[in-house]
Amino acid sequence: MVTIINYKERQKEDGTSFYVLEVQGGIEMVKSQKTVNFYATAKKAPKPSQ
């Protein structure tokens, strides 16, 4: 599942504005390579909208 967690208004070089959505996926457990312990993380990514 993907959730929109934030949005920001940005401007192009020509002065027109657009929005960037910040989306986040579900939580996943990852094993640390250094400590061999598990921790929870969620991936985030910006997505421009039109």
The per-residue pLDDT for range 8-26, each reduced to its tens digit, is 999 999 999 999 999 999 9
Q: CA-to-CA distance for 4 and 39, rounded, in angstroms?
A: 23
Q: CA-to-CA distance for 10 and 23, rounded, in angstroms?
A: 16
pLDDT confidence band for 30 (50 / 70 / 90): very high
Look at phi and psi of residue 36 and say left if phi exceeds 0, alpha if psi is from -120 to 50, else beta: left
Decide if pLDDT at 50 tops 80: no
Which tokens in the block code for residue 25?
């996926």
pTM to 2 decimal places: 0.65
Q: What is the pLDDT of residue 34?
A: 92
Q: What is the pLDDT of residue 28?
A: 94
Counting Cα atoms < 13 Å in the Cβ hemisphere of 21 gives: 10
